[in-house]
């Protein structure tokens, strides 16, 4: 393996990431208002903004899902048992002792085993739950019939809230982990520039140099 600075995040992936982050922030803010946690904006505009942000995010996710499968990037999110315990131990203990992380980022595997499992669970379980419950909530007037409709609505609301709080917890953990290791700036910079220092096999390095040399940058000298 050779360490090289490689453009691992294409423009669409970076645009998708920051658009998603902004929309989720809007959804959390307006969702907390709708739930009565705060009253920083009126209820009506909060509902309208929440709905618009949710529909926009749904469109973004549809495009992102299409991109993931057409480019084969979806394989990045397949969890692996190998290295899971070592990674969990690192985050629970080793990171506070200054230990080196047990997982080195590679071009075709940008996520460590714990990250891949987390993203897999979010994308295949939590996100579908929040979308289905949100659409049911939004279309309540179309299926509101019968004596049990109020009870069903309460169940849908609580499921939607539970999924939202799971995503909220993920966002908090995600931001916290950005402050660990080399620091917040070094973690965020790749998602702005697209370039990150990763390990390449000799074959991968030769392929990039021969076919896409613009995706490689020289290593920065150590300070």
Per-residue pLDDT for the chain (223 aa), expressed as one digit of tens each? 778 888 888 899 899 999 999 999 999 999 999 999 999 999 999 999 999 999 999 999 999 889 888 888 888 888 888 888 888 888 888 888 888 888 877 777 778 888 888 988 998 899 999 999 999 988 888 877 776 778 888 899 999 999 999 999 999 999 988 888 777 888 899 999 999 888 888 888 888 888 888 888 876 654 4
* pLDDT at 52 (0 to 100): 96
Domains of the chain: 2-215 (1.20.950.20)
Q: Is 27 exposed, middle or buried (0-12, 13-18, 19+ CB in 10 A)?
A: buried
* pLDDT at 220 (0 to 100): 60
Secondary structure (DSSP) of 165-188: HHHHHHHHHHHHHHTSTT-HHHHH
* pLDDT at 14 (0 to 100): 92
The reported pTM is: 0.84
Beta-carbon count within 10 A of 173 CB = 12
Q: Hey, what are 153's tokens?
A: 């609505």
CA Rg, the chain, in Å?
Answer: 21
Strand 195-200 and strand 2-7: the pairing is antiparallel
* pLDDT at 221 (0 to 100): 53
CB 113 within 8 A of CB 101: no
């Amino acid at each position: 393996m050779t360490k090289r600075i490689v453009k691992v995040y294409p423009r669409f992936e970076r645009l998708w990431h920051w658009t998603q982050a902004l929309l989720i922030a809007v959804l959390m803010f307006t969702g907390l208002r709708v739930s009565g946690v705060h009253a920083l904006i009126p209820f009506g505009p909060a509902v309208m903004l929440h709905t618009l942000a949710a529909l926009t995010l749904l469109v973004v996710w549809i495009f992102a899902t299409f991109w993931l499968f057409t480019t084969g990037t979806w394989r990045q999110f397949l969890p692996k048992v190998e290295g899971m315990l070592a990674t969990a131990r690192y985050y629970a203990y080793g990171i506070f002792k200054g230990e080196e992380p047990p997982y080195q980022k590679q071009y075709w595997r940008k996520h460590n085993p714990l990250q891949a499992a987390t993203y897999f669970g979010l994308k295949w379980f939590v996100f579908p739950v929040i979308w289905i419950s949100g659409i049911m909530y939004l279309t309540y007037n179309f299926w509101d019939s019968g004596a049990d409709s109020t009870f069903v609505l309460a169940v849908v609301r609580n499921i939607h809230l539970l999924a939202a709080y799971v995503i909220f917890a993920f966002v908090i953990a995600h931001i916290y982990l950005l402050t660990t290791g080399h620091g917040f700036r070094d973690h965020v910079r790749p998602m702005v520039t697209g370039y990150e220092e990763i390990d390449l096999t000799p074959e991968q390095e030769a392929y990039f140099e021969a076919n896409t040399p613009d995706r490689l940058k020289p290593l920065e000298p150590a300070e």
